[in-house]
Amino acid sequence: MAERPQERLGSEHAPHLPAKRVPFHPSKSWGVVAAVSFLLAIFFLQHWPKPTVVTQKTAAEPPPVIITTVTARNGDIGIYMNALGLVTPLNTVAVRSRVDGQLIKVNYVESHMVHAGDSLVEIDPSLFHAAVTQAEGQLARDQASLENARRDLERYKEALARNSIPRQLYETQIATVRQFEGTVKLDQGQIENAKVQLAYCHITAPITGRVGLRLVDAGNIVHATDTNPLVIITQLQPITLIFSVAEDYLPQIQRQLRAGKQLSIDALDRSQRSKLATGILQSVDNQIDTNTGTIRLRGLFTNENSVLFPNQFVNVRLLADMHHNVTLLPNAVIQRNAQGAFVYLVQSAQRAALHPVTVVTTDGNQSEVEGVEPGAMLAASNFNRLTDGAKVTLRRETGQKQQKQKGP
């Protein structure tokens, strides 16, 4: 039997066959990988920085916040109404000539104060002196005629008693005497008129006030019918201030006025930081403006230092009411967020507690609040670092204690 090709081929090439392969065992390979991973983990654990120090620093409590404090106090505060006001003079006079003539002299100085009766300007009085003389001559002539008529009347009376003249002649003489008496009165009136016209040549100040700029120079001819005045005088002491408030405040204002109280008014500058003058409410308008829903009020100021000037715009604060024995805080202590106003109460454990408050009214640098009792200690600085429950360190207390130290 012939050999199979496969067997012959195998026998011929048997010495050149590759070595027998080792079978693959998955369990052994995974064991090697696990061993290497374990060794690497041990290496990294030994050489990687430990997070214990970082964890301790993160978890440590932040240092205390150094703050100043203020104490809530009990006091009084005013309820003010704010408005924009216009200063108006109590009296304004445009001085004009009442006669025609040449302006020969100007006696006032521009922008200076004048008093009632002070000479302002002089108009040439020559023509009016002549008119007075003429009227006086007419009076003297008519008085002489009256005297003669009265003597004739006495003679006619005696003749009538003797029936020497008719009665009609006597009665005609009586009428003549009365006619001359009327003429004398007319002459006297003309004299008074001429003297008045003469007095108009000397123009004096009708009120005490400040004169404006000179409007007419000496040498010009002025007339009684001129539309432009010679000078304008405005009274500055006292002076008034007109302002408007919302109609909702009217009942409160009327209640105070009916009680006999004088409401105080403060005039402030444009920045509302400096008080210019203080006055009182003088009068209330008789109707409400339907277009704006406001009512006009007039305040009276003595204006002793002339700080208020006519047609000047100022900020107005009307003291409408006064709250007594309320809790007062400096405005800087009150903070605000989306929920409203709040303060930081300093508790006995030296921690700051966020406490909500209600601001009732504000006057200057202080406010009336509800929700805090007088005597409570509040944080007054470092608000950007304060949080609810933060630990604090007190630097010093401000407020009443410092005010007492600064006081006499």
18-59 pLDDT, tens digit per residue, is 444 545 455 555 666 666 676 666 666 665 555 544 444 445
Say how many CA atoms lie within 13 Å of 6 toward its Cβ.
0
Q: Is the pLDDT of residue 15 over 60?
A: no
Range 26-29, long-range pairs (CB < 8 A, 24+ positions): none
What is the SS3 assignment for 44?
helix
**Cis peptide bond prior to 374, omega within 30° of 0:** no
Phi, psi of 391 (to 5 degrees): -80, 140
Residues 6+ apart with CB under 8 A from 118: 107, 108, 204, 205
pTM of the prediction? 0.62
Is the CB of residue 92 less than 8 Å from the CB of residue 235? yes
Mean pLDDT value across residues 99-108: 95
> Tens of pLDDT along 107-155?
999 999 999 999 999 999 999 999 999 999 999 999 999 999 999 999 9
Class of domain 95-123+201-231: mainly beta
CA distance readout (Å), 105 to 108, 169, 197, 275: 9, 59, 17, 42
Mean pLDDT for the stretch of residues 77-94: 92
Reported as a single tens digit per residue, the pLDDT across 284-343 is 999 999 999 999 999 999 999 889 999 999 999 998 888 889 999 999 999 998 889 999
What is the rounded distance in angstroms from the CA atom of residue 381 to the CA atom of residue 367?
17
Q: What class has domain 80-90+234-323?
A: mainly beta
- 154/160 Cα distance (integer angstroms): 10
Domain at 65-77+324-406: CATH architecture? Beta Barrel (2.40)
Per domain, the residue ranges of the chain are 65-77+324-406, 80-90+234-323, 95-123+201-231, 125-200
Q: 92-95 and 358-363: which strand pairing? A: unpaired
Q: Which helix (H) or strand (E) holds 145?
A: helix 126-161
How many other C-beta atoms are found inside a 10 Å radius of the C-beta of residue 80? Answer: 19
The highest-level CATH class for domain 125-200 is: mainly alpha
The answer to whether the CB of 379 falls within 8 A of the CB of 69 is yes
**Tokens standing for residue 231:** 């000078």
